[in-house]
Amino acid sequence: MIALLLSILSSTLIYICFNVLGKFGVNKLHALIFNYLVAFFLGWLLSPQGTSVLAYPQQDWFWGSLILGSLFIATFYLMFKTTQKHGMSVVSVASKMSVSIPVVFVIVFYGESLNFLKVIGILLALAAVYLVALKKKKENPLFNTTLVLPFLVFFASGTVESTLKYLEDAFVAQEEVPAFSSSVFFFASLFGLLIFAIQYLKNRKAMQLKSMIGGVLLGIPNYFSIHFFIQALKSNVFETSLVFIINNILIVIFSTFVGILFFSEKLQKQNWLGILLALISIIMVYLSSQQIT
């Protein structure tokens, strides 16, 4: 339970960092690349004493971490493109509603429980993140834009969480979580640097110092959001589907209230309704798991 709360708090700090970086005009792609490098070194430092980076390729999870790292940067790039074309609310809805993919994955692949309360709770959770993400009264991001990019964000975000679950369950031992996380961030930074090199050849736009500083501030909570989320998945305190739902819903709620308190964001009636539905969905999914036990 503590690991899950720490993961949620770390993810909320990521939201704060992105808002701060935006106010200082930091190039988010450059900051993200440097953030992955910082997260890689942090994971390496927290690995058991004597762990060598050169030993990473010998681990069962090594190639999986390469795939996951590439998915990390690809998902961000899709989110960046979708934001440019359709706005942040579309990205927020698509990425948060993607929780349905890992939930369905663990129910089907791992045979987790499914009953009436859980189905209703999952549907309410999806409705909740949709309503919380709407920032304008007449906005309808799922239906007023071309669906290709938002669908790709939805699919990519859900695939990242499903892949993470599979890898941690099949290949990652408890003591290997820091090294595994470090490897994922290394490959994310490697693919990010490749994108940066291609862009640099086109526009000769170098990475600025403020982007590097922003990357350091972003990299610390980013590392711990993954580290503690994997620990939460391994804890077996809740069913995995419940962990995914609680994690996504509470990140949405915490980030929303942080936006109100520190960034002068305003909520519409549908946002408050979404928060209410989010709380109800968590209660219903939790009660559904208690019925089974």
DSSP per-residue codes, 226-245: HHHHHHHHHH-SS-HHHHHH
Looking at per-residue pLDDT, the higher value among 205 and 159 belongs to 159
Give the pLDDT band of residue 276 (cuts 50, 70, 90).
very high
End-to-end CA distance of the chain: 18
Q: Give the integer Cα–Cα distance in Å for 13 and 91.
A: 19
User: What average pLDDT score do residues 86-104 get?
Assistant: 79
Give the mean pLDDT of the chain: 86
The top-scoring range by mean pLDDT among 68-72, 202-206, 211-215, 236-240 is 68-72
Which of the residue ranges 57-71, 112-126, 198-212 has the most confident prediction, judged by mean pLDDT? 57-71
Contact 6, 243 (CB under 8 A): no
Look at residue 143 and tell me whether its pLDDT is greater than 80.
Answer: no
Kindly indicate the confidence band of residue 133, based on its pLDDT and cuts at 50, 70 and 90: confident
Helices 28-46 and 62-86: crossing angle in degrees, nearest 10, is 160
Higher pLDDT, 233 or 151: 233
| Domain membership of residue 161 as a residue range | 2-292
Q: 69: closest CA among 90, 91, 38, 40?
A: 40
Note the pLDDT of residue 21.
82
**2 CB-near residues (< 8 Å, 6+ apart):** none
Task: Give the confidence band of 140 by pLDDT, cuts at 50, 70, 90.
Answer: low
Instruction: Kindly state the average pLDDT of the residues 186-199.
Output: 90
Full-model pTM: 0.88
User: What's the confidence (pLDDT) of residue 180?
Assistant: 94
pLDDT at 88: 64
Q: Quick check: 92 pLDDT over 80?
A: no
Work out the burial of residue 45: count CB atoms within 10 Å of its CB; fewer than 13 is exposed, 13-18 middle, 19 or more buried.
exposed
Q: Which of 90, 99, 104 lies closest to 282 in space, CA to CA?
A: 99
Number of domains observed in the structure of the chain: 1
* pLDDT greater than 80 at residue 78: yes
Q: Mean of the pLDDT values across residues 226-243? A: 90
